[in-house]
Amino acid sequence: MKRYLEHKSIDVLGIGNAIVDVVANVKENFLKDNNLSKGVMKLISEEEAAKLNRMINAVKISSGGSAANTIAGLAVLGNSVAFIGKVKNDDFGAVFEKDLKNLGVIFNTKKEDRSFSSTAVCIVLTTSDAQRTMNTCLGVAGTLSPDDIDEELVANSSIVYLEGYLWDQQQAKNAFLKAIDIAHKNKGKVALSLSDPFCVERHRIEFLNLIQNNVDILFANEIEILSLFELKDFDSIKRNCKESDIIFAITRSEKGSIIIADNKEYIVEAERTEVVDSTGAGDLYAAGFLNGLIKNKDLYSCGKMGSILAAETISHFGARPNISLNDLLKSKGF
């Protein structure tokens, strides 16, 4: 079986927005009354975040952010993981740091003391159909810079996992490029999550260039990959992906996922579950997939692990697991 990774002391290093999630249930008309587009992520100001917080009743507050959720899932599975992301030295920053370190995640990014902005917060509004509408106040998270990239940590990581959302900020983009350069010079692999359809629309040309020249593993959902290649049918997407040398892991909601690599495709069926909250489904899919790669599983098995973990996370509120993920995978034959 082909081995994709060089074994190093850190299995996966995540780089992304360090965000505290505030999860709440709302009615459909709440979204309409507040001019919010269901199912997408919107950037909001600190004033807008404060206003929304006053209008909701939170059911859960915990550390979050797309890449951090993936790293948390990998930590729960017993992998050696680390995270780079910016927080302020405030109450939400303490929540974020404590949650990750309690899971055994290496998190040494220096806290910001001088900025007037706070630690980032994402207000996740979940409707009865389990769709989540994310309202993100980036605060200091978007100020991640090349100086925050721990070169030794990157060099000692088998996979550097990047969150596409951070590409919105120029200095964070420079931090990504620095990490990519270090990773490849040290035979590490680079994984990228496209994060959001609107994020893809904003940066399509740059993302295409990045993927073609610097990415080894790409995570995307069906809408994001269609937007990336500006195509309307999935068969055309498959042809485009087969022409590339990277691994594509594409999620398709209830249709499951498809893995494309080495001019082959692997169809992975979805796990059946009751959908309560879709927050973090893609993040935990990535955790399951990368967990399989770390353990040198075949690509179908990697995708299946991703589906199992995604199904677990959408069965409850919040993006962090409620049960032992290792026991769950064992019960499914892994």
* CATH code for the structural domain at 10-18+68-116+139-331: 3.40.1190.20
List, for residues 160-192, the tens digit of each pLDDT value. 999 988 888 889 999 999 999 999 999 999 999
pLDDT at residue 106, as a whole number: 96
Cα–Cα distance measured from residue 189 to residue 183, given in angstroms and rounded to the nearest whole number: 7
Angle between helices 66-76 and 281-294 (to 10 degrees): 50
pLDDT at residue 277, as a whole number: 61
Mean pLDDT value across the chain:
88
Residues 6 or more apart in contact with residue 16 via CB below 8 angstroms:
65, 66, 67, 68, 83, 85, 161, 162, 163, 165, 166
Query: Where do the domains of the chain lie?
Result: 10-18+68-116+139-331
3-state secondary structure of 233: coil
List, for residues 73-119, the tens digit of each pLDDT value. 999 999 999 999 999 998 889 989 999 999 999 999 988 887 778 89
Helix (H) or strand (E) holding 264: strand 264-268
List, for residues 50-79, the tens digit of each pLDDT value. 899 899 988 888 888 889 999 999 999 999
